[in-house]
């Protein structure tokens, strides 16, 4: 049951049916019995080969690690927080509460940005 969405973050109360995902180590240590075939240009292949060589990896290792990391980054942009109902309500109460003025906030809001 989706409660609210804020800046791509899905916040839901804890559900007993929710299963945690495998850890990174579990995923990377699985037997590799599948393949992915892609077509690339010579320039792309040369660039990947140079980068892989610099890291002391094979082209396949480099591409797999790079694709895996990028996939994690994309998915983590849409984070899921699994919390119990009480903490969820505390979180929502804090979001809904008025901003408490303080010196640091006042300074932040009145300081000119470095790019201006």
41-93: pLDDT as tens digits: 999 999 999 999 999 999 999 999 999 999 988 888 777 777 888 988 998 99
Residue 22 lies in a domain: no
3-class state of residue 12 by DSSP: strand
Domain assignment of residue 72, yes or no: yes
Range of the domain at 87: 4-17+34-110
What are the DSSP calls for 56-71, one per residue? T--HHHHHHHHHHHHH
Characterize 29-54 residue by residue with b for buried, 16 or more Cβ atoms within 10 angstroms of its Cβ, and e for exposed: eeeeeeeeeeeeeeeeeeeeeeebee
pLDDT tens readout for residues 5-26? 444 455 555 544 444 445 555 5
Give pLDDT, residue 24.
Answer: 52
Report the domain count for the chain.
Answer: 1
- Distance from C-alpha of 10 to C-alpha of 4, rounded to nearest angstrom: 7
Considering the domain boundaries, does residue 26 fall inside one?
Answer: no
């Amino acid at each position: 049951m989706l409660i609210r969405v804020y800046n791509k973050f899905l916040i839901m109360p804890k559900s007993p049916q929710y299963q945690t995902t495998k850890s990174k180590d579990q995923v990377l240590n699985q037997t590799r019995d599948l393949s992915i075939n892609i077509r690339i240009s010579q320039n792309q292949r040369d660039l990947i080969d140079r980068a892989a060589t610099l890291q002391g990896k094979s082209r396949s290792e480099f591409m797999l690690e790079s694709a895996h990391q990028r996939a994690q980054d994309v998915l983590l942009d849409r984070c899921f927080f699994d919390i119990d109902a009480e903490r969820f309500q505390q979180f929502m109460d804090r979001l809904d509460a008025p901003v408490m003025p303080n010196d640091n906030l006042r300074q932040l809001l009145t300081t000119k940005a470095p790019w201006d």
